[in-house]
């Protein structure tokens, strides 16, 4: 049961700790590099040139060995585009289930493939759009899909694009959203998404009884955080997805 490491005494490390888990759930070294580079940038940002800073030797060694901010931001941008696919898959499955339709990973993969293909064609993007690549995204980011789902819910709540086939959020916007949203609100929403996902057994998994997400494998906030009245509700299935499902239903090979 992996727990997101949050130390209330190190507030400047909190955001880097959360985003590092979301981006590199299976790579501890990259998480450490991400936390180190972002945390120290946050700590030093805005200090005057004559401000005296006292550092321990271990901190100096960590800074020297860490990637530059531009290097870590480039790596984060690549991973964020993939992580968001997992969050989108999870939310669509929950939204389809809430619409009294059978939810399956095949169905939501079709929707994300459809969406990304349209964006790539219309906007010249290079989002992952093949079924194989979307399967890969789910496998890599399944354990943090609820965190990406919560980010999308809260990001869309402050955007007029929530029901459009808008493109993925940039890493800069992701950091901005997470820095503006109270941590308790983000944690509470992610717990709600995770709880609903662990209660949903996709239609193709009914024989095994395996839920969409497994509580024991998912990254979670410490017990001090809980789903409460601050948790955002999962929105209804967006119009573009409902429309695209008609294409799915017309093709018998997809059932």
Q: In the prediction, which pLDDT does 144 show? A: 98
Share of the chain above pLDDT 70, in %: 78
Query: What was the pLDDT predicted at 66?
Result: 72
Residue 91 lies in a domain: yes
Beta bridge partners of 3: 220
pLDDT at 138: 96
Whether 41 is in a domain gets the answer: no
d(C-alpha 198, C-alpha 95), whole Å: 14
Question: How confident is the model at residue 224, as a pLDDT?
Answer: 84
Looking at residue 203, its pLDDT comes to: 74
Is 46 within a domain?
no
> Using one digit for the tens of pLDDT, what is the confidence trace for 118-166?
889 888 888 899 999 999 999 999 999 999 999 999 988 766 554 455 5
- What pLDDT score does 10 carry? 56
Confidence band for 59, pLDDT divided at 50, 70 and 90:
low
| 101 found inside a domain | yes
Q: Is 136 exposed, middle or buried (0-12, 13-18, 19+ CB in 10 A)?
A: middle
Which residues fall within 8 angstroms of residue 31, CB to CB, at 6 or more apart?
20, 21, 23, 24
pTM of the model: 0.87
The answer to whether residue 28 is domain-embedded is no
**Residue 180 located in a structural domain:** yes
Confidence of residue 201 (pLDDT cuts 50, 70, 90): confident
SS3 3: strand
**Quick one: which H or E segment has residue 167?**
none
Q: Tell which wins on pLDDT, 44 or 164.
A: 44
Q: What percent of the chain has pLDDT over 90?
A: 49
Q: Give dist(CA 38, CA 140) in Å, integer.
A: 23
Nearest to 94, CA basis, from 246, 189, 198: 198
- Flag whether 216 is in a domain: yes
Please list the helix, strand and coil fractions of the chain in percent, rounded to the nearest 5, in that order. 60, 0, 35
Which of 50 and 170 is assigned the larger pLDDT? 170
pLDDT score of 233 = 87
> What letters, b where the CB count within 10 A reaches 16 and e where it falls short, cover 24-61?
bbeeeebbebbbbbbbbbbeeeeeeeeeeeeeeeeeee
Average pLDDT over the chain reads 84
Mean of pLDDT values over 229-246: 87
Residue 111 belongs to a domain? yes
Left (φ > 0), alpha (ψ -120 to 50) or beta: where does 227 sit? beta
Domain extent for 192: 79-254
Number of domains in the chain: 1
């Amino acid at each position: 049961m992996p727990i997101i490491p949050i130390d209330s005494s190190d507030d400047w490390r909190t955001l880097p700790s959360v985003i590092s888990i979301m981006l590199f759930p299976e790579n501890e070294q990259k998480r450490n590099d991400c936390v180190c580079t972002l945390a120290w940038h946050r700590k030093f940002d805005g200090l005057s040139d004559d401000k005296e800073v006292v550092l321990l030797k271990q901190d100096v060694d960590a800074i020297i060995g860490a990637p530059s901010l531009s290097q870590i931001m480039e790596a984060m941008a690549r991973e964020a585009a993939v992580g968001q696919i997992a969050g989108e898959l999870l939310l669509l499955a929950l939204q389809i289930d809430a619409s009294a339709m059978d939810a399956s990973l095949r169905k939501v993969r079709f929707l994300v493939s459809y969406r990304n293909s349209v964006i790539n064609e219309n906007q010249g993007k290079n989002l992952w759009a093949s079924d194989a690549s979307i399967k890969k995204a789910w496998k890599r980011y399944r354990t943090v899909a609820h965190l990406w789902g919560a980010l999308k819910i809260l990001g869309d709540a402050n955007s007029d694009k929530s029901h459009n086939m808008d493109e993925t959020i940039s890493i800069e916007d992701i950091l901005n959203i997470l820095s503006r949203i109270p941590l308790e609100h983000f944690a509470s929403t992610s717990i709600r998404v995770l709880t609903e996902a662990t209660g949903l057994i996709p239609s193709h998994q009914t024989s095994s009884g395996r839920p969409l997400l497994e509580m024991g494998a998912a990254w979670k906030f410490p017990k001090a955080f809980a789903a409460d009245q601050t948790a955002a509700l999962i929105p209804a299935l967006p119009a573009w997805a409902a429309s695209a499902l008609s294409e799915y239903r017309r093709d018998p090979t997809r059932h």
